[in-house]
Amino acid sequence: MGFRVQLALAAVFTGAGASAQTAADVSAVDGEEIYARDCLACHMSDGRGVPGMNPALIGSAWVAGSPDALAGFILTGGYGPDVLMARFDYLSDAELAALMSYIRNEFAGIAEAPIEPSLVERMRNQLN
């Protein structure tokens, strides 16, 4: 069951309507849209990437590991022998938190509480 469906079911069973959604619920839903816009071309819809060119998100220690490290990596970009990932520091704290929540749930099966924008803000401040 997709993360979007889980959120919709949670809203139905808790009686939460669109006006009662929390910022975390909205962010988690928006994360999929941000992924489609900014990440899908390189990492593909299934998160498997393109071998030898764009790394997979499935099985990635970055995705499954520390949220702080993941935020730092996405904010600053990265490079390796076969890849260069752009920095995504233009995303707002809320957008990056939503994206991280989506990829951790979708590609690492981590369905804990969504990443909070305050974590991204803290990491952004540490890096600046």
pLDDT tens-place string over residues 48-85: 999 888 899 999 999 999 999 999 999 999 887 667 89
Tokens representing residue 75 in the block: 């904010």
CATH number of the domain where residue 37 is located: 1.10.760.10
H/E run at residue 3:
helix 3-14
pLDDT for 1 beyond 60:
no
Residue 111 makes CB contacts below 8 A (sequence gap 6+) with 3, 6, 105
| Residue 48 in domain | yes
Asked, for residue 1, whether it belongs to a domain, the answer is: no
Q: What's the structural domain count of the chain?
A: 1
- Backbone torsions φ then ψ of 126, nearest 5 degrees: -65, -35
Residue 9 included in any domain:
no
In a domain, 42, yes or no: yes
Is residue 84, in this structure, part of any structural domain at all?
Answer: yes
Band of residue 5 on the pLDDT scale cut at 50, 70, 90: very low
Q: Which domain holds residue 33?
A: 22-127
Look up the pTM and report it.
0.76
Q: Dihedral sign, CA of 95, 78, 109, 56?
A: positive
pLDDT for residue 20 is more than 50: no
**Can you read off the two tokens belonging to residue 64?**
């499954």
Q: Angle at Cα 80 formed by Cα 50 and Cα 33, nearest 5°?
A: 50
Q: Please check whether residue 10 lies inside any domain of the structure.
A: no
- Domain membership of residue 73 (yes or no) is yes
In a domain, 12, yes or no: no
